[in-house]
A and B are shown apart, each in its own frame.
Chain A
Amino acid sequence: MPHLDLSRRKFLAAAAALGIAAAVRPLRQAQAAMMETTVGKDRGWFAGGKLRYRRDGMAKVTGSKVFSIDVRARDIEGWPDSQSHALTFHLPRTDRIFRGLDLSLLRPDLEPDVLIDAERLQQDGVAMPQSDFYGDFFLAPGAVPPMLGQPVAIGIWHDYERYRAARKKLQFVDGIFLWGEAAGSSARAPYGAARYVRIGGDDPRGADRFSPMKDLVVWPQTDDRGVHWPGPDDADFGEAMRHSADLRASMDDPPEGWRVFARNYRSQSVDPAAMETENGLGWYQPEQGRLNVVGATQSPYTVAHHLLEMMSASRLAFSQLEFVTGYTVGYGQKEHQSFPYYVAIAALYAEGRPVRVVLDRWKHFQFALKRHPFDIRTAFAVDAEGRFQIMTCDMTGDGGGVKNFSPSVGTVAVTAAQSIYYLPSSDLSVQMLPSVNVTAGSMRGYGTLQSMATTEMLVDEIASEMQIDAIELRLRNVIRSGMKNTQGAVPSGHLRAAEMLELAAGDPMWTGRHERKAAFEAENPGMVHGTGFAAVQKDFGTGAEAAVVQLEVTREGRLKMRHVASEIGCGSTTSQLLVVQSHLGRPADEVEFSVQDWPQMPLHTEDEPYTTTQEDEDRFAQDPRWVPRFTSPRSASNSAYYFTHASQQAARLLLRLTLWPAARSIWSGGESGGQMLPEPVEFEDLAWRDGMLTARSMQPLSLERLAAHAHARGMITGVCVHTFNRWAWAEADFEIGGDRFRAAIDALSVKWGEAADDATKARMTDGGYAFQPRVQVHYPPVQRNNAGTVYYAPCATLIELAVETGSGKVHVLSHKTWLECGTQIVPELVSGQLQGGVAMGIGHALYEELPLGPEGPGNGTWNFSRYHLPRASEVAVWSQTGHVLPPLNDADPPKGMAEVVMIPVAGACANAIAHATGHRFREFPISAARIQEVL
């Protein structure tokens, strides 16, 4: 499954087993005082009860060191003042046997001081951790390269000027690689394959006849001859395969009145193009057996854990690991990538010096993770009323040279192919194949851009063929609240895609599209005009989302928060501070993000939430310190919903366990039961007004007064919560001081105030907190893993564009996007994500493409000069609008929306170009050259 990050507990347990002292910490803590960033120090971001700018804004806008790539050895406390520099060598071809590296063009004075290759690693017993997932470090001479861009060595130079001179001599010189006879790549087994079959019942909200949720997902056997789908008599999967065959037969021979539309699509290979390239800084101190690595990654614990694994079999001294993470950006490109391990091995061989490894843009193109290209065949059977009856979709993805996340990208992609529609029956298959291309991995959208955009292109074509308004056709088929998705799961909450369709249907850009086209073309000879629409809904989260949040109030009434959230640009470290306001009357005053050390939450886990059996989970869960997962990485648009839930649970419990008892104590103080005696005040009556806690006619109380009261009486003053979601929230019962309550968390620790008695204080042994064993817990059943998803954010885009008939060049004239994401925490951040997503989607639709094979990025000659990223002038920067639907109510939770916003615009571009040119393009990108060819 996607987006796994290991827990601190598992990491520390692994370190302890190896006898290693290990730590993961954010960059900020590692920097010397002179280099401290202003993140967290600037107080101006929140003033007068209002958010003024991003919490990290001042540091970023003034060019402070916030990224890993900004860091040099001199910036880190306790490190030497300078570092060596390393260069990676990547093979540009795969059609011959690799014979070795020839660096003789470097005169002796420019030769690397150190050269690390496969032989050297083998001698020292250093191997890539999880090599089936990441690939091998280096190819040894005598073997055929498994992929373009395969590394074969790292050179290290101890001074910058020799390094840069050598790099300059070596750049683009393929002659340094020695080749033997021609050879082909050997056949390899697919990375993964799956099939999701659903036969719904008569009621879209009723019982299914067959579905993954009710029954199972088909997981076929694979080997180097390909995918072997089970037969109709297969003991496990036979029923699913029989349903599949029946649906295919119906598509081939549809009932009277039905029409079948089947089309082939292709979505290209794309580079996420994070502006910060792969980089890292390492320092190995052999005398102390200490390995220090500064890395850029979205999954720090996984990297740290795998570094332990990498070193575990080596003969090199190893007793301490320190892994430091800075801010980074990747859109998935820096999640579970192999590059941090190359930084580590450079450090191991740098002769006791710190060493910096940075890929230049050409090498970043050559080696960094890509978006999967897919071949997609999608078909709909549609009845005479324009209602979809059957959908089939068969996707084949190219995973490139190494498996990485290809299997889960495939399953997420194909289960999203349904887009916003209810399908009575569906048969969706996917296979993810290896190739010699640069490895594809996680990227914003996680396969759903490819599947949903093409579904939206087919739906538009069906509408045209059936002469039904394209939005009207969508309205007839849109999934509505309570209906099941193609996995047979009921999506969470009220589904509002139909609301967006209604808005778009009435928009002048849509209703006047034919008149606008005629008028534009009359005024602009040589150009054609088109309007296009698409609507999708995207899941968020991974089906195993865990988080930890600590929240406490000081005697002075200051709110202090510690959080697992880290910053990858989306603004989560800003938003998480704010979401406690509804329960506590104001944002947290002090906060520590990217917290890796949680003695307050003494839990353990196998971290196998997707594969644990129900029987095992029931047994494990009896231990109140067991959880299915400790924490999740920053990915899958998970902060807005899942992290917010954790923050708000902590805030709610601080209100319930601290402020409510303190308020009751104040209001009922004095003789005769105080002011509260005549009033039936309940917890539910609490409300914040102008920063004061109120309830019915009670005297408003400030947080400062409540905090002082709670501390003075030794009440609870801090909570630490752990949360878990498997397409539903875990809930548990707790009992503190005779007060039994249930909360949507699965673990809780508390601390008491300063005046607590000695016996109470003696219980606070867990990082100053006292762990509260749950009385009982209710985890969502493991069968919910088959749901694929239940949390969706819908998004729709309407775009108008013009096409130059001579050149095929597309001009985006304007666009309008509707988004539903529950309650916006920070509307400015939502809007920024929306605008950025639309731009990235336009790039996918019109511009970005990497060729596969030897002409592609694996040959080391690609950069932004040939890979066009959309500029402001190409995204209608002055003439675009975004509309966020108002939340259903004040408690409508925020939804993850960072991925969905880039998807509908891709389909809308294709549909608009069809409207403009009369031609249905079915291959992305729809470049000027492709349009010109047709026109």
Chain B
Amino acid sequence: MAGRINFTASINGQQVGPLDLPEDLMMVELLQEYLNLTGTRLSCGQGVCSACAIIVDDPEGGSRTVPACITGVAWLNGKTVRTIEGIAGRDEQGDPVPSPVQQAFLDHFSFQCSYCTPGFVNAATVLVERLERAPIPVEDVEDAILKALDPHICRCTGYVRYYQAVRDVILSTPGLTIGTVAAAERPA
């Protein structure tokens, strides 16, 4: 069997570990089989479909998504990670309070079966956070969304309502774009 590592990480704001884990364990296995966080969905197991995308927060380099199916716990050891379970807030009753991206996906009826939704939420969240730090011209928004989300496969929706939702979030959130909304609006 593989060697072992002593694993610690911050996952959704909670300190996890130290855990004695196989050093070749993939992050999706840790989340699903050890932590019972099954919202990160495994589909291809080879880093192609992006259903399992999780967020790795780097205070210096910013946030980015990685495919949890091919990203080992060894690489993530000591890092700060967000999964779909950590994106929404909670109200006083403990009910979920969706993030702006999640709310937009709800409002736009963006998903159907939803197996790929956690990956889309995480990728769109990272995009929005990146634009907070580095706004882009309004006319570049659609290309930026396509670049950020194109690796994500959805078999149900044809992508349109995901993309429209993210565009709405970006165009309606102050500080993410430079220029005027009207200049970039197109029929869809």
Residues of A within 8 A of B (CB): 38, 42, 52-54, 56-58, 60-67, 69-72, 74-75, 109-110, 160-162, 164-165, 168, 272-277, 327-329, 331, 360-362, 568-571, 826, 828-829, 831-840, 863-865, 869, 871-873, 875, 877-881
Q: Give every chain B residue within 8 A of A877 (Cβ-Cβ).
A: 146, 158-160, 163
**Are A880 and B160 in touch, CB under 8 angstroms?**
yes
Cα distance A57–B112 in the bound complex, in angstroms: 9
Closest 4 CB pairs of A and B: A63-B39, A835-B158, A63-B84, A569-B113
Q: Give every chain A residue within 8 A of B137 (Cβ-Cβ).
A: none
CB of A567 to closest CB in B, whole Å = 9
CB of A37 to closest CB in B, whole Å = 11
**Are B109 and A828 in touch, CB under 8 angstroms?**
yes
Q: Give every chain B residue within 8 A of A331 (Cβ-Cβ).
A: 155
Q: Give every chain B residue within 8 A of A873 (Cβ-Cβ).
A: 146, 150
Which residues of B in the span 11-34 have a Cβ within 8 Å of any Cβ on A?
22, 24-25, 29, 33
Cα distance A616–B83 in the bound complex, in angstroms: 59
A57-B106 CB under 8 A given contacts A72-B38, A164-B22, A331-B155: yes
Cα distance A875–B155 in the bound complex, in angstroms: 12
Q: Give every chain A residue within 8 A of B49 (Cβ-Cβ).
A: 275, 864, 869
Cα distance A134–B146 in the bound complex, in angstroms: 42
Q: Give every chain B residue within 8 A of A872 (Cβ-Cβ).
A: 146, 149-150, 152, 159, 162-163
A61-B48 CB under 8 A given contacts A66-B114, A275-B43: no
B116's partner among A64, A275, A865 (CB-CB below 8 A) is A275
Residue B2 at the chain A interface, CB threshold 8 Å: yes
**Are A165 and B22 in touch, CB under 8 angstroms?**
yes
**Are A361 and B43 in touch, CB under 8 angstroms?**
yes
12 additional contacts, CB 8 Å, given A57-B105, A62-B88, A828-B109? A69-B41, A164-B29, A275-B51, A329-B112, A361-B44, A835-B160, A839-B158, A869-B155, A872-B149, A875-B158, A877-B146, A878-B186
In chain B, what residue has the closest Cβ to A837? B158
B112's partner among A66, A569, A869 (CB-CB below 8 A) is A569
**Are B115 and A276 in touch, CB under 8 angstroms?**
yes
**Are B157 and A836 in touch, CB under 8 angstroms?**
yes
In chain A, what residue has the closest Cβ to B2? A165
A to B CB contacts below 8 Å, 18 in the list = A53-B109, A58-B98, A61-B121, A65-B39, A66-B114, A67-B41, A109-B1, A168-B24, A275-B116, A327-B113, A328-B113, A329-B155, A569-B156, A835-B158, A837-B158, A869-B153, A872-B159, A878-B146
In chain B, what residue has the closest Cβ to A53? B106
A62's partner among B102, B115, B142 (CB-CB below 8 A) is B102
In chain A, what residue has the closest Cβ to B1? A165
Cα distance A568–B51 in the bound complex, in angstroms: 18
Residue B85 at the chain A interface, CB threshold 8 Å: yes
**Are B39 and A62 in touch, CB under 8 angstroms?**
yes
**Are A835 and B159 in touch, CB under 8 angstroms?**
yes
B188's partner among A58, A571, A878 (CB-CB below 8 A) is A878
CB of A73 to closest CB in B, whole Å = 11
CB of B124 to closest CB in A, whole Å = 11
CB of B7 to closest CB in A, whole Å = 14
**Can you list, as one digit per residue, whether each of B158-184 has a CB less than 8 Å from chain A (1) or not (0)?**
111111000000000000000000000
In chain A, what residue has the closest Cβ to B105? A61
**Are B2 and A70 in touch, CB under 8 angstroms?**
no
Which of B84, B85, B96: most chain A CB closer than 10 A? B96
Cα distance A836–B46 in the bound complex, in angstroms: 24
Q: Give every chain A residue within 8 A of B33 (Cβ-Cβ).
A: 72, 160
In chain A, what residue has the closest Cβ to B21? A161
CB of B65 to closest CB in A, whole Å = 14
In chain A, what residue has the closest Cβ to B39? A63
B106's partner among A58, A160, A164, A829 (CB-CB below 8 A) is A58
**Are B117 and A61 in touch, CB under 8 angstroms?**
yes
A60-B157 CB under 8 A given contacts A65-B38, A164-B22, A863-B44: no
B111's partner among A61, A67, A274 (CB-CB below 8 A) is A61
CB of A113 to closest CB in B, whole Å = 15
B102's partner among A61, A67, A871 (CB-CB below 8 A) is A61
CB of A366 to closest CB in B, whole Å = 13
Q: Give every chain B residue within 8 A of A864 (Cβ-Cβ).
A: 43-44, 46, 48-49, 153
A360-B45 CB under 8 A given contacts A42-B95, A875-B158: yes
**Can you list, as one digit per residue, whether each of B121-148 has a CB less than 8 Å from chain A (1) or not (0)?**
1000000000000000000001000100
**Are A61 and B106 in touch, CB under 8 angstroms?**
yes
Cα distance A301–B111 in the bound complex, in angstroms: 27
Q: Give every chain A residue within 8 A of B158 (Cβ-Cβ).
A: 832, 834-840, 875, 877, 880
**Are A110 and B1 in touch, CB under 8 angstroms?**
yes
Cα distance A619–B144 in the bound complex, in angstroms: 67
